[in-house]
Chains A and B, each alone.
Chain A
Amino acid sequence: MKAPAFAYAKAKSLAEAFALLERPGARILAGGQSLIPSLNMRLASPELLVDIAGLKDLRGIDLRPGVLRIGALATHAEIERSDQVSKYAPLLAQAVPHIAHPAIRNRGTLGGSLALADPAAEYPACALALNATIVLVHRRGERRVPASKFFKGLFDTDIRPGEIVAGAEFPSVERSVFLELTRRHGDYAIVGLAGVADASGRRIAYLGVGATPVFAENASRAVSLNAALEVLGRDLQPAADLYHSSATKLHLAKVLLSRAWNTLSKPH
């Protein structure tokens, strides 16, 4: 279908974007790879799209002490090609090929994915596993929110009116694994796992198992794979979807946990 009618304004500065966002029915447009399909299917009806794609402040991938800062407007393709991402946030580099297809990765953005908070999306689970910090900007400054507090519900985040996702800071963790089960390449995940490990322990998060990405606290702390498999049911109570029962999803989550475990465990 065709999108409904709406107004469009391209912000030339952050200040202009904040002013435009105060208008009734205003919504941010970045890469548009989720928003435009929802417009086409008439699931969304904004009155004004504020295009932030020209804001240079929201671009770039920079190494800062202990963290990799990725601007909200970094596209999936830029993240996929970045040497710094493969070196300092390899989890993201492993996750990107699972996101849709090349033509969509050329336009979809990190900030868009985090702000939309689709529970089956890849970056939110990565952000949770890495304990990333989401950086939000508003008229008077910035606000920093840990990923554990950012994803609040189905497509619901801690972003307040007037705030724009500026980027996210990912702590550098070398050992990581990203796995996803889909019916076809690029489809939404039936279930996916984002895991990292360092001296402080393992952190395992799941996607596609609830209203938000889910941190598997008990399984992350388990001393062995068997123990982790046993307690995973306490971390996840996946809702059934059209094709998979809750029990199937939990089973598949365990399959992924088994595949990921060795990578996330210290070498013997």
Chain B
Amino acid sequence: MEHAVETTLTVNGVRVTRRIAPRVHLVDFLRDELGLTGSHIGCEHGVCGACTVRVNGEIVRGCLMLAVQADGCTVETIEGLSDSKELEGLQRAFHEHNALQCGFCTPGMLLAAQDLVRSGAKPSRDEIRAHISGNYCRCTGYQAIVDAIEETIHGKG
């Protein structure tokens, strides 16, 4: 019964059907099978947030979801959301504020931040920090990341 399971999902607007071994995580499937290497793998147990992707419109950990669980789901990754320009504002703000150094956390950070941006909330800096609390950055100290998200939501002030 450890055989692969036929799974159909829509990734960045493209319908994909594959036979997938149950043990394969969604983020490994996206990276290794579909070549979408923008979603990164850090800790592989749900702590660092580098693998954050969107499933059915909600952000999830790509390492805490099996690819077979995504059967019938719509998955969006940093590649799709960059191409569609949905992240344009955040990406520009991250660039202008130097909100990244090595960039490893950035795809996950952008997805977590965009989740807050498109919620329509007007968060305080503390609320921004709470929302990205599950995304680790080991370079910036977060200050510039919070600046960039704040500016994207509240405008230049």
Contact = CB atoms under 8 A, between A and B. Distances in A.
A36 B66 contact: yes
5 contacts: A1-B44, A33-B46, A36-B63, A49-B66, A104-B61
Given A2-B44, A6-B23, 18 more contacts: A1-B44, A3-B25, A5-B23, A7-B22, A10-B68, A29-B66, A32-B65, A33-B61, A36-B63, A37-B64, A39-B23, A49-B22, A97-B130, A100-B134, A102-B131, A103-B52, A104-B134, A186-B134
B133 A185 contact: yes
B134 A103 contact: yes
Interface string B120-133: 00000000011101
Contacts of A5: 2, 21-23
What 5 pairs across the A-B complex have the smallest Cβ distances?
A101-B134, A7-B1, A8-B22, A37-B45, A185-B133
A101 B49 contact: yes
A175 to B, nearest CB: 25
A104 B68 contact: no
A97 B133 CA distance: 11
A100 B60 CA distance: 12
A32 B66 contact: yes
A229 interface: no
Given A103-B49, A106-B58, A40 B112 contact: no
Contacts of A40: 25, 44-45, 63
Interface in B10-69: 21-23, 25, 28, 44-46, 49, 52, 58-61, 63-66, 68-69
A222 to B, nearest CB: 34
B151 interface: no
Contact of B60 (A51, A97, A106): A106
Interface residues of B, number: 33
A1 B68 CA distance: 18
Given A32-B69, A185-B133, A103 B61 contact: yes
A10 B112 CA distance: 29
Interface string A3-34: 11111111000000000000000000100110
Contacts of B130: 97, 185
A89 to B, nearest CB: 22
Contacts of B69: 29, 32, 51, 53
A6 B2 contact: yes
Contacts of A2: 23, 25, 28, 44
Contact of A36 (B3, B64, B115): B64
B139 interface: no
Of residues B46, B49, B115, B135, which shows the largest number of chain A Cβ atoms within 10 Å of its Cβ? B46
A152 interface: no
A203 B135 CA distance: 36
B79 interface: no
Contacts of A102: 59, 112, 115, 131, 134
Nearest to B56: A106
A107 interface: yes
Interface string B62-93: 01111011010000000000000000000000
B148 to A, nearest CB: 18
A184 B63 CA distance: 21
Nearest to B46: A37
A1 B63 CA distance: 10
A107 B2 contact: no
A77 interface: yes
Contacts of B28: 2
Contacts of B52: 103
Interface string B131-143: 1011100000000
A103 B22 contact: no
Contacts of A9: 1
A3 B134 contact: no
A48 interface: yes
Residue with the greatest number of chain A CB neighbours at <10 A, chosen from B52, B61, B131:
B61
